[in-house]
Amino acid sequence: MLNKLVWRKSDKQNRNLQERISDVTGELVPKHIAIIMDGNGRWAKKRAMPRVAGHHEGMKNVRKITRAANAIGVKALTLYAFSTENWKRPKFEVEFLMRLPEEFLASFSPELMELNIRIAMIGEMDSLPEHTQKAVKKAMDDTKNNTGMVLNFALNYGSRSEIVSTVQQLVKKAQDGEIAVEDITEDCISAHLMTKELPEPDLLIRTSGEARLSNFMLWQLAYTEFWFTDTLWPDFDEHSLLDAVNDYQKRSRRYGGLKGE
Ligand code: V07
């Protein structure tokens, strides 16, 4: 009886997607969302499937979440697709993963153009296989004039290594007399990181029950809201994204415009 009178969370979640999207866009939407897409291997294991089947399912889910983020007006979506640590995985698994960008881009490119989405990448491009580099470079080039959401892939990315190369770049500039030591400020460092073109993430999501940063955007996440879920990445759907954004909006309302203080 009482059940029917109480607006439970599940009722809210079960509302139709369009309705939830228009509700969320009436308020402050995070400009930049970053996601650590964890749990693909576990998703496969639960189904007695090989790990790579989980990665493939995870890749399909990237499309779904890209469309949803675009629909709610997110300006940048950064997805952690491959860390510098991931090279330690079995060779066949690494080779499978390195084919995913090509497959993703071959099938999704026409829609990326229609949606006016620009592809970007952070991470060490040079040590990726030639075929992967070629596909990613072509996609970045094909979409370079798109002015809508930036879909930024962290590929062969590690945050400490990003910071180390930034420091090396700046020390070199100082040695060459291009900048003074006093010019090396927080803003200056931000402007030399791989993310220099993007705003800092407003919301970080990590799926699959882990609550660590795993060397992801350490500098850029200094003021970011963190949102963790036990949901495995292939099961993380539009409603899950909206749950995260709803919570982000609740937290923003609580600050009452005092963000960053
Ligand atoms: C990868 C799927 C998502 C879950 C995490 C692991 C596996 C999309 C890409 C991608 C990367 C660059 C690009 C276009 C698409 C991707 C890797 C792994 C290595 F320009 N998903 N995905 N790349 N997974």
pLDDT of residue 22: 94
Integer Cα distance of 198 and 193 in angstroms: 10
Distance from CA of residue 43 to its chain's centroid? 19
Identify residue 32 by its one-letter amino acid code.
H
Q: How far is the CA of 59 from the centre of ligand 1 (A)?
A: 6
Q: What percent of the chain has pLDDT over 70?
A: 92
When pLDDT is averaged across residues 182-211 and rounded to a whole number, the result is 98
Is residue 40 a contact partner of residue 57, using CB atoms and an 8 Å limit?
yes
Dump pLDDT digits (tens) for 154-177.
999 999 999 999 999 999 999 999
Catalytic entry in 16, 23, 70, 86: 86
Ligand 1, atom 15, residue with closest C-alpha = 101
Catalytic entry in 11, 16, 38, 187: 38
87 has binding-site annotation: yes
Atom of ligand 1 nearest to the CA of 105: 14
> Strand, helix or coil at 86?
helix
Ligand 1, atom 2, residue with closest C-alpha = 59
Task: Please give the mean pLDDT across all residues of the chain.
Answer: 94
Q: Considering only residues 76 and 12, tell me which one the structure prediction assigns the higher pLDDT.
A: 76
Active site residue 116: no
The position carrying tokens 């190369």 is: 165
43 has binding-site annotation: yes
Given pLDDT bands bounded at 50, 70 and 90, which one contains residue 257?
A: low
List CB contacts of 207: < 8 A, sequence separation 6 or more.
35, 36, 37, 38, 39, 229, 231, 232, 233, 236
Integer Cα distance of 22 and 60 in angstroms: 25
Q: Is the pLDDT of residue 11 over 90?
A: no
Dump pLDDT digits (tens) for 45-65.
999 999 999 999 999 999 999
Is residue 6 a contact partner of residue 172, using CB atoms and an 8 Å limit?
no
15 has binding-site annotation: no
pLDDT of residue 26: 86
Given pLDDT bands bounded at 50, 70 and 90, which one contains residue 98?
A: very high
**By mean pLDDT, which of 6-10, 25-29, 215-219 is the weakest?**
6-10
Torsion of CA 9, 11, 15, 21, to 10 degrees: -10
Q: How far is CA 227 from CA 38, 88, 208, 242, 246, in A?
A: 13, 27, 11, 12, 11
| pTM of the predicted structure, to 2 decimals | 0.94
Ligand 1, atom 4, residue with closest C-alpha = 58
Q: How far is CA 229 from CA 36, 178, 204, 209, in A?
A: 11, 46, 11, 6
Dump pLDDT digits (tens) for 149-160.
999 999 999 999
Ligand 1, atom 14, residue with closest C-alpha = 101
Active site residue 38: yes
pLDDT of residue 118: 98
